[in-house]
């Protein structure tokens, strides 16, 4: 049996897509030389990243399109006010 299980991991993410995205981004960082954030006997970057997500050492932030556009409009408004 695999540990941590997929069900345990899905409790740490909004969806399977987010979970895969989070683990793959962290695994790439490990390949590029980042230090491990957990003690594990695993050596493969994807396995290490999976444990880091499970232990909540790695998290992600969801940005919704509406929030993104609101921030963009606020910044544009600030820029327009500064120019005058």
- pLDDT tens readout for residues 68-81: 788 888 888 877 66
Domains of the chain: 6-83 (3.90.940.10)
CA 1, 13, 49 angle in degrees (round to 5)? 60
Quote the tokens at residue 23.
């683990």
Provide the 8-state DSSP code for 56: T
Are the C-beta atoms of residues 50 and 23 closer than 8 Å to each other? yes
* Per-residue pLDDT tens over the stretch 53-64: 999 998 877 777
Quote the tokens at residue 67.
């929030």
* Per-residue pLDDT tens over the stretch 36-55: 999 988 899 999 999 999 99
What DSSP element (H or E) covers 45? Answer: helix 45-54
Quote the tokens at residue 68.
């993104």
């Amino acid at each position: 049996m695999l540990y941590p299980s997929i069900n345990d991991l899905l409790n740490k993410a909004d969806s399977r897509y987010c979970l895969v995205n989070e683990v793959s981004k962290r695994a790439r960082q490990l390949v590029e030389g980042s230090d491990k954030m957990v003690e594990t006997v695993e050596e493969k970057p994807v396995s290490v990243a999976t444990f880091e997500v499970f232990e909540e050492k790695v998290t992600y932030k969801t940005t919704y399109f509406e929030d993104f556009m609101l921030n963009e409009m606020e910044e544009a408004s600030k820029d327009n006010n500064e120019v005058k």
